[in-house]
Amino acid sequence: MSYPLVERVSHRLFGDMLRMMLSEQVYFDLTLEEGRTLSRNFTALAYDWRRADFIYLSPVGGDVEFSAAVTKDGVHVETANGRHHLSWDDVTELAERLAVE
């Protein structure tokens, strides 16, 4: 499996959700609206990374918050397993996959 990736998952209360996976152990479960919100943020930052220093999202369907520092080299996501780097190519790919109908 190649990371990062996004797949649809089902939640017993929220229905269809998106699982944004950065590795086998690191993933974030997002509602479809949260996925679209993060997609818009990623798209704006990939266009001009100086728009924000930090991204934060507390997904309603998961136990893990999304917290990341924005740098000229990409996005550094803080996780329980340590910092995970996403290149701008990774960020652009995730933005496309999170932008659901």
Q: Which whole number is the average pLDDT over 44-71? A: 91
Q: How far apart are CA 61 and CA 71, in angstroms?
A: 28
Q: Which whole number is the average pLDDT over 37-57? A: 93
pTM, entire model: 0.90
Distance of CA 14 to the CA centre of its chain: 18
Whether the pLDDT of residue 101 is over 70: the answer is: no
**Cβ–Cβ < 8 Å for 19, 26:** no
